Structure 1
Amino acid sequence: MKVTISRIVKIHTENTFVEFSTPYGKGLSSLFTLEARENCSYDIEINIDDDFYWGKNIFTSMSNAPSIRHEAEETYITAELTSITEDGCGSLKLGNSIILILIKNENKDLILPSLIEISAIQITLYPTNT
């Protein structure tokens, strides 16, 4: 996925905390590179380390379009949930990108594919063309 670094929030010794923008909106994450620059674009892979629980931080979306937004330290992503394995690995499709998440409980009423919204805190962007 192509993202642009909107602003650098904090620089740490191992990674940088940034606000990023995409065609779907803006989010907050760690960026696993020390060379991050504001207003520069990167091809990235998104990694989300949160555990997701239906009704707590993963919901069926009321929206009909993918999006990314953030409030305080949480980033909200609306994307298409295309599959869930028996061990809870879920695949989200956001544009042409696939994001893997771990879903800890079952939603028996869900029909796949389905548009869902997650709220995540532990997001890391990994540049793929460096």
Structure 2
Amino acid sequence: MDSIGINKGHYHEETWTYDLHTNTMDVTNIFVRIQIKRNQIMKVLIIDFQYIDEKCFVLFQSKLGSGKALWYGDSPVVNNEYHVEIEIHDNLLWGNNILSSLSRKYNIESVNDDLILTGKIESIDNDGYTVIRLDESIVCIEAIGKPFPLGAFVDVYTKDVELFNLNYL
């Protein structure tokens, strides 16, 4: 895919197992790599970055807007463009931090400590796994509650966002 060969992404599969006899809970988290289609990759320009407690936070700009996120990958270079996958780690609830959007335009913006992603619901699984389209890119989330209908534009308010640098894969 393209000259840089980006075609991989990932997701996490979590399994919780409760042992009644020992009253313990075991949690396994499996990192699964997947193929990504051309129209699912976002390109961002790194404006600035800062390390806080050994974590790299970036200020980024994309054609949809700008924001701040945790960076996963090699140290970024200011004014370089990167292909990234967006991952949200907040507990997302329909009607709480996922709201029906008044806008019908894809957008990314920072307001106070929130990153607000405005996109269209592309698919929803029974377990809450949802794909939100952000123009040419997608963001996969897990949410609980009663979802909005397919095709609806939503604003996703999040504080815990990671950008995964796909340029190094």
**What aligned pairs does 1:1-130 form with structure 2 within 5 A after superposition?**
1-13=42-54, 15-107=55-147, 110-130=148-168
Return the letter of the residue paired with 1:78.
Answer: T
Per the TM alignment, residue 59 of structure 1 is displaced from its structure 2 partner at its CA by: 0.4
Unaligned 5+ segments in structure 1 are: none
Per the TM alignment, residue 39 of structure 1 is displaced from its structure 2 partner at its CA by: 1.4
The structure with the largest alpha-carbon Rg is: 2
Unaligned 5+ segments in structure 2 are: 1-41
Return the letter of the residue paired with 1:26.
Answer: S
Give, in whole Å, the separation in 1 of the partners of 2:46 and 2:113. Answer: 16
Higher RCO, 1 vs 2 (CA within 8 Å, ≥6 residues apart) = 1
Range with bigger deviation, 25-34 or 114-123: 25-34
Give yes or no for contact 1:16–1:34 (8 Å, CA) kept in 2: no
Q: Which runs of 4+ in 1 moved over 3 A?
A: 9-12
Give yes or no for contact 2:59–2:66 (8 Å, CA) kept in 1: yes
Return the letter of the residue paired with 2:133.
Answer: K
**Percent of paired sites with the same residue:** 28
Give, in whole Å, the separation in 2 of the partners of 1:24 and 1:34. Answer: 24
Q: CA RMSD in A?
A: 1.4
Give, in whole Å, the separation in 1 of the partners of 2:112 and 2:154. Answer: 21
